[in-house]
Amino acid sequence: MGAPVAASSQLLAAAFGENRRAVQAELVDALRWADKAKAEEAARTLKKIAEADRAALMPLRKRLLREAFRAQDVRVQWNLTIAIGRLPLTGSDKAVAVDLMFERLSDRSGLNRTLALQALMDLSEEDAALRARVLPFVHKAMEDGTPAMKARARKLLGVRR
């Protein structure tokens, strides 16, 4: 990935190819690039990898979490929020991810707040205690969130308008 970044579909194919671990690690490294467009493309590709295969990025989970806390670019944050929410995290990794998502619930970006709600629901899929902690935030978002948050909250709760 050193030279021009390949098209996203090529990156995604490489991320599942023969050298997948190396390509995925390079994508995480690219999150720190000064070139915002390349960092955003890496984040988008990481999100697509996590959506396609929840466990694919597990070997890189600690690095992803560090980069998600470090990320300043809102587009990188959005994509990493989705990617982290898709990971089958447990233990301290999950606790760190949950802390990040709760922090993002007070972000100035409405989309960051909306995606954090989604990530928290994804992370609480098989965790009744976490789900009980998250649901009040989803209900609150449905009542007084941004239009996107209200729509996502309705979707998360299976509420029809």
- 78-95 burial, b at 16+ Cβ within 10 Å, e below that, comes to bbbbbbbbbbebeeebbe
**Confidence (pLDDT) at 161:** 65
C-alpha–C-alpha distance, residues 7 and 39, integer Å: 13
Domain positions in the chain are 89-161
| pTM of full prediction above 0.85 | yes
Find, among 70, 97, 103, the residue nearest to 83 by Cα. 97
C-alpha–C-alpha distance, residues 37 and 80, integer Å: 15
Count CB atoms within 10 A of the CB of residue 28.
18
DSSP state of 107: -
pLDDT band at 10 (very low <50, low <70, confident <90, very high): confident
Residue 7 has pLDDT above 70, yes or no: no
**Confidence (pLDDT) at 8:** 66
pLDDT tens digits along 59-101: 999 999 999 999 999 999 999 999 999 999 999 999 999 999 9
C-alpha–C-alpha distance, residues 147 and 114, integer Å: 10
Amino acid at 3: A
Q: Which residue has the tokens 């609150």?
A: 140
Instruction: Enter the tokens of residue 76.
Output: 């990188």
pLDDT tens digits along 99-146: 999 999 999 999 999 999 999 999 999 999 999 999 999 999 999 999
